[in-house]
Amino acid sequence: MAGRLEGKRAIISGGSRGIGAAIARAYAAEGAKVVISSRKQPGLDAVAEAINADYPDSVIPMTCHIGYPEQIEEFIQQVEEKIGRPHILVNNAATNPYFGPMLQIEPTAFQKTFDVNVKGYFEMTRFVVQRWLANDEPGAVVNVSSVVGLRGAPFQGVYAMTKAAIISMTQTLSIELGEANIRVNAIAPGLVDTHFASAIVQNPDMSKMFTDKSALKRYAQPEEIAGAAVFLGSDEASYITGQTLAVDGGYTTV
């Protein structure tokens, strides 16, 4: 039986661990050919080796720092040379260099957060979508945002600002690109057990603040986010665009 992404080609940024690695595995399991990217090659190689052991020749690891647009353009060109134009773009790479009172963030940390989390997503989308438009091809963009983009987020204020911006970008691009049959959606994960969120997950008091407010009373594993990315990238979601799917254990119902 063919997978839901059989014959599809995808780019997944931030694919060296956590949610990105889980999405890459789920895409490979559904038949997609995947290029994963992040800043450093060793982590990418390890993820690709592990997934390819189960789904041979499904994942290609390639470095790209999405905070630098010149790297993105070269990266997209290399992806096309290796696997052809992608059908799906999953923007997942992110950074959060500061945790603390919002007004105390240093300007360099503020700029870095926006360069990667907003500008990086935008430029990745721009370079991929321009190729779809030039060739009159459909496509799907899946942006990984966060529930902190939907709610107030003490001590994560600037990071939350970038995640809210992603949701806004998702909505606007869905309108502008809809007639071209290019869908743009977002996922808003709640607290997930990843290295990225380890400062919260590994602090019992802080993690309890989240889990107490969620209907399921727990945080997620990365694999529990991946299914939403498969769905939104697949033809099953062919009439869904401009939406933000909260995968948060019911956190945003409160």
pLDDT digits (tens, 9 = 90+) for 168-216: 999 999 999 999 999 999 999 999 988 887 778 888 888 898 899 999 9
More confident call, 206 vs 124: 124
User: H or E element: which one contains 218?
Assistant: none
Token reading at 81: 């040379």
Q: Which of 7, 53, 61 is nearest to 30 (CA)?
A: 7
User: What was the pLDDT predicted at 226?
Assistant: 98
pLDDT tens string 129-162? 999 999 999 999 999 999 999 999 989 999 999 9
pLDDT tens string 217-227? 999 999 999 99
Contact (CB, 8 A) for 66 and 120: yes
Q: pLDDT category, 115, cuts 50, 70, 90?
A: very high
What mean pLDDT value characterizes the chain? 95
Sign of CA dihedral 13, 1, 184, 73: positive
Percent of the chain with pLDDT over 90: 90
User: What was the pLDDT predicted at 113?
Assistant: 97
Query: Does pLDDT of 1 surpass 60?
Result: no
User: What was the pLDDT predicted at 84?
Assistant: 97
Q: Which of 98, 82, 81, 79 is nearest to 90 (CA)?
A: 79
Give me the domains of the chain, ranges plus CATH numbers: 9-246 (3.40.50.720)
pLDDT tens string 72-99? 999 999 999 999 999 999 999 999 999 9
Active site residues: 159
Say how many Å lie between the first and final Cα of the chain, rounded: 40
Sign of CA dihedral 182, 51, 58, 198: positive
